[in-house]
């Protein structure tokens, strides 16, 4: 069969599989390309794809040995896989197709909505652009070779976005992408180029122009399929399984702790230190429930319930986690390890800091050497009396032994901060 000089022998099909992806939902409709995206704006057959992956852990584990030496995280960085292959639609044999994949840019949300696409980070307050790979200034794609396939890295960090160009070689091409520690949305652009005499399968991936005689779209060209992949980086949360084929975890955001005048706690947020992360009280449902219980326990211990007009002491709740988890960097950086950044544990929505003074300015600090104020610890112990093994970021070394839920950070944080493992 001839189509304007192009012989239709078979249809080339393409797949893309994302390692660690929670959900992949290719759109069913075609989307016109535009010059706002990189690549040739003449490509008019674009397929948006949604995928998600956990953020990378810190380069050093959340655990330390007895000599206080950091331990490298075995899972750093988290790997995210782009898999390319194409085959003849009639007999299924694999073809040699060209491909490319590029991490184009971060997708920042409206500055007035800090808990949306940017994962809770306000880029303009960081002083540098949101990284698109890990390590921030040197990470790049790597190629996992299958016989016959190949891939070449293009561009050089930190000035150029990660990009790889190659061929499937009648086999499978696997491109490994190192995920950053900061949660948020990233835009990737992916092309698959069909071999000579092949056209893409329905609904097609042709270059399209108007036939000046017939006045109808004419399918011809280089047969390139273009995908715009939105990679959602964030801690995956478990959800009830509604059907046998539904995923057990979905990419979503943590619920937010909200304080009303009737609650037994207040929230610390929005000060100058927190401009890069103005919303800082997100966590798992269990964690937020335990924060409320601890605050209620403290309220009941410290206030006279028979004096309704007396000002009441309330706990001041400091930081939990950002909206999608991942690194919560206090130093206006896009990374955080367990050296020089006391917030490396606030990644999974399961830990909270309680301030060293209450709502009336009275002391709530702790001192692990004795003689400190033990009211917060008493409230924590009343709610979580048992030892627990705290949740840590995916890819880090887990706690080997149970620990108390209350941790006094008097040796590392001035004033004796109260750190609480909530689950």
Q: Residue 373: what pLDDT?
A: 81
Average confidence (pLDDT) over 78-86: 91
Q: Report the predicted TM-score, pTM, of the whole model to 2 decimal places.
A: 0.81
Same domain, 212 and 357: no
- Please state, for a pLDDT cut of 70, what percent of the chain lies above it: 72
- Residue-level pLDDT at 267: 96
Whether the pLDDT of residue 215 is over 50: the answer is no
Residues 209 and 353 in one domain: no
What was the pLDDT predicted at 340?
64
Q: What is the pLDDT of residues 17-59, one digit of tens each?
A: 333 322 222 222 233 444 343 344 444 456 678 888 999 998 8
Domain count, the chain: 2
Domain boundary among 238, 271, 305: 238
**E strand or H helix that includes residue 279:** none
Helices 375-383, 285-302: crossing angle, 10 deg rounding: 130
Q: Give Cα separations from 14 to 68, 164, 174 (angstroms).
A: 50, 17, 13
The reported pLDDT for the residue numbered 374 is 85
In this structure, are residues 89 and 100 in contact, taking their beta carbons and an 8 Å threshold? no
Cα separation, 360 vs 143, in Å, equals: 58
pLDDT value, residue 48: 75
Q: Are 198 and 10 in contact (CB under 8 A)?
A: yes
The Cα–Cα gap between 198 and 358 comes to 70
Question: Per the domain annotation, does 248 fall within a domain?
Answer: no
Whether 206 contacts 80, CB under 8 Å: no
Tell me, yes or no, whether 332 lies in a domain.
yes
Is the per-residue pLDDT at 252 higher than 90? Answer: no
* Of the listed ranges 84-98, 172-186, 291-305, 359-373, the one predicted with least confidence: 359-373
- Reported residue count of the chain is 423
If you average pLDDT over every residue of the chain, what do you get?
A: 77
Residues 305 and 174 in one domain: no
DSSP single-letter state for residue 282:
B
* 1-5, 69-73, 146-150, range with greatest mean pLDDT: 146-150
Tokens of 334: 């896009």
pLDDT at 250 over 70: no
**Model pLDDT for residues 333-390, shown as the tens digit of each residue:** 888 777 667 688 899 999 999 999 999 999 999 876 666 788 999 999 999 999 999 9
DSSP string, 98-117: EEEEEEEEEE---TT-TTST
Residue 246 placed within a domain: no
| Residue 61 domain flag | yes
Domain that holds residue 203: 2-238
By the 8 A CB rule, do 201 and 89 touch?
A: yes
Are residues 200 and 299 located together in one domain of the fold? Answer: no
Cβ neighbors of 398 (< 8 A, separation 6 or more) are: 63, 389, 392
């Amino acid at each position: 069969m001839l189509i304007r000089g192009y012989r239709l022998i078979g249809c080339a099909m393409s797949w893309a599989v994302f390692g660690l992806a929670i959900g992949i939902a290719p759109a069913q409709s075609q989307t016109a390309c535009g010059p706002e995206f990189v690549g040739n704006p003449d490509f008019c057959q674009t397929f948006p794809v949604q995928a998600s992956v956990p953020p990378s852990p810190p380069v050093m584990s959340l655990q330390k040995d007895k000599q206080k030496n950091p331990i490298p995280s075995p899972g750093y960085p988290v790997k995210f896989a782009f898999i390319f292959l194409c085959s003849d639609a009639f007999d299924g044999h694999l073809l040699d197709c060209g491909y490319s994949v590029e991490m184009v840019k971060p997708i920042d949300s409206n500055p007035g909505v800090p808990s949306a696409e940017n994962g809770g980070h306000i880029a303009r307050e960081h002083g540098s652009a949101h990284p698109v790979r890990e390590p921030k200034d040197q990470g790049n794609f790597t190629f996992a070779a299958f016989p016959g396939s190949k891939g070449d890295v293009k561009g050089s960090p930190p000035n150029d976005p990660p990009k790889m160009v190659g061929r499937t070689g009648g086999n499978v091409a696997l491109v490994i992408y190192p995920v950053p520690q900061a949660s948020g949305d990233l835009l990737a652009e992916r092309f698959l180029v069909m071999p000579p005499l092949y056209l893409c399968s329905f609904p097609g991936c042709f270059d399209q122009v108007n036939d000046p005689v017939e006045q109808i779209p004419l399918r011809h060209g280089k047969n390139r399929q273009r995908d715009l992949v939105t990679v959602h980086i964030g801690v995956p949360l478990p959800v009830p399984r509604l059907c046998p084929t539904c995923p057990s975890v979905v990419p979503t955001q943590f619920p937010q702790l909200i304080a009303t005048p009737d609650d037994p706690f207040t929230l610390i947020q929005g000060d100058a230190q927190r401009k890069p992360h103005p919303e800082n009280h997100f966590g798992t449902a269990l964690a937020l429930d335990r924060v409320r219980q601890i605050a209620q326990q403290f309220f009941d211990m410290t206030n006279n319930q028979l004096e309704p007009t007396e000002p009441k002491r309330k706990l001041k709740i400091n930081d939990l986690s950002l909206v999608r988890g991942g690194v919560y960097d206090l130093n206006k950086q896009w990374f955080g390890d367990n050296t020089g950044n006391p917030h490396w544990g606030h990644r999974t929505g399961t830990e909270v800091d309680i301030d060293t003074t209450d709502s009336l300015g009275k002391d709530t600090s702790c001192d692990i050497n004795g003689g400190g104020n033990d009211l917060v610890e008493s409230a924590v112990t009343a709610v979580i009396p048992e030892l627990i093994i705290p949740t840590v970021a995916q890819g880090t070394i887990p706690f080997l032994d149970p620990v108390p839920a209350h941790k006094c950070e008097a040796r590392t944080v001035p004033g004796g901060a109260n750190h609480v493992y909530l689950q």
